[in-house]
Amino acid sequence: MFRFADPIWLLLLVIPVWMVVSHILRRGRGEPTLLFPDVHSLKLAGSGMGSLKRTISVVVAAQAIVLLVLAMSRPQSGQAMHQRTSRGIDIVLALDISSSMEAMDFNPLTRIEAAKNVVKDFIKMRTSDRIGLVAFAGQSFTLCPLTLDYDMVAEFLQNAEETRLEDGTAIGSAIATAVNRLRDSDAKSRVIILRTDGMNNRGNVDPLTAARVAETLGIRIYTIGVGSEGRAPIRIDGRLLYTETDIDDETLTKVAQITGGIYYRAKNPEELESIYGEIDRLETTEIKSTEWVEYDEQFPDFLWLGFGLLLLSFVADRTILRRLP
């Protein structure tokens, strides 16, 4: 970013312009006449050299004045600095990593593979929101605390199912763990996005009780039921078996309603992607920022260069550009 701190001095640029224009208009007019008994020495000097020397002298002097005027106008270069003032949204993604998430009804992907792909895209769409990860099966635990390091979140997400300790679906425990990650947050908005393909059958916390705690703390929960209707193929120990899709839509709907969220049902990858896209639109923070500019003074460069040209013009007029009368 470049500016002049005192641009009023730029009006003096008419002086070098007037010098050059005046010189051009005077060329060849009213030249003084001197009588010499012998003009042989003048002929040797060349008829055009005098005019060229005068032009060079005027141009150099005009350039010197331009630089000095620019120096007086205080040229400055600066760099814009930004500071974000909004605190964004804190989002905890609660991911079901139970064995039923290996069902292959999201052709050609399993439920967990399709879900991870969509969640990665969701994370990429965030700009100033902290993201945390909670994984749950028979137990729930924090995979990644709230952070702005989206690459780290994606890395934990990639290997989430490998952290399964006990099979099952502890939805209430997952909500409680996510609430604990958010309870001390001072973010503008606090959100849990819980994705599962089953019903609560493990843990000591009832999902509705956990949802009421979240509602008391002002935490909103979006719930997503993942899986096709009926039976779905699943590969266990190299054998292809079938598992029933048993999603507790009623409980997941109540959990969302208690906290002011929404329950979604995803039966294929396209629906799952659309759901996360809608949540992204619902939970988007307007980033407000302040801007200031730090300027560095550039006038010394113009000043010394201008004085240098003036000195050069003075010396040249008395040496190589010296003209006969």
- Give all domains of the chain, ordered by start, each with its CATH number: 2-30+40-80+294-317 (no CATH), 86-282 (3.40.50.410)
What is the C-alpha separation between 215 and 17, in angstroms, rounded?
Answer: 74
Q: Compute the average pLDDT of residues 108-122.
A: 92
What is the residue type of 34? L
What is the C-alpha separation between 247 and 232, in angstroms, rounded?
Answer: 13
The answer, yes or no, to whether residue 46 has pLDDT greater than 50, is: no
Please name the residue that has the structure tokens 């989002």: 91
What is the C-alpha separation between 279 and 54, in angstroms, rounded?
Answer: 75
Phi-psi sector, 123: left (phi>0), alpha (psi -120 to 50), beta: alpha
What one-character DSSP code corresponds to residue 260?
A: T
Predicted pLDDT at 50: 59
Residue pair 223/194 in contact (Cβ under 8 Å)? The answer is yes
Q: What H or E segment, with its residue span, contains residue 81? A: strand 75-84
Predicted pLDDT at 49: 58
Q: Compute the average pLDDT of residues 165-192.
A: 93
Q: Which of 94, 179, 181 is nearest to 135 (CA)?
A: 94
Q: Compute the average pLDDT of residues 184-197.
A: 92
What is the C-alpha separation between 145 and 143, in angstroms, rounded?
Answer: 7
Predicted pLDDT at 44: 46
Which residues does 245 contact at the CB level (< 8 Å), separation at least 6? Answer: 103, 105, 197, 227, 228, 229, 230, 231, 232
82-91, 172-181, 239-248: segment of lowest average pLDDT: 82-91
Q: Compute the average pLDDT of residues 228-243.
A: 85
Start-to-end CA span in the chain (Å) = 49
What is the C-alpha separation between 211 and 146, in angstroms, rounded?
Answer: 20
What is the C-alpha separation between 308 and 325, in angstroms, rounded?
Answer: 27
Where does the chain have alpha helices with state H? 14-26, 40-45, 49-72, 111-124, 150-158, 171-182, 207-216, 249-259, 269-282, 299-317
The answer, yes or no, to whether residue 134 has pLDDT greater than 50, is: yes
Q: Residues 210-228: pLDDT tens digits? A: 999 999 999 999 999 999 8
What is the C-alpha separation between 7 and 106, in angstroms, rounded?
Answer: 66
* CA 213, chain centre distance (Å): 35
What is the residue type of 190? R
Predicted pLDDT at 290: 59
85-89, 107-111, 131-135, 239-243: segment of lowest average pLDDT: 85-89
What is the C-alpha separation between 112 and 151, in angstroms, rounded?
Answer: 19
288-297, 301-310, 312-321: segment of lowest average pLDDT: 288-297
Q: Quickly state the pLDDT bin for 54 (edges 50, 70, 90).
A: confident
Q: Quickly state the pLDDT bin for 19 (edges 50, 70, 90).
A: confident
Q: Is the dihedral of CA 210, 216, 217, 221 positive or negative?
A: positive
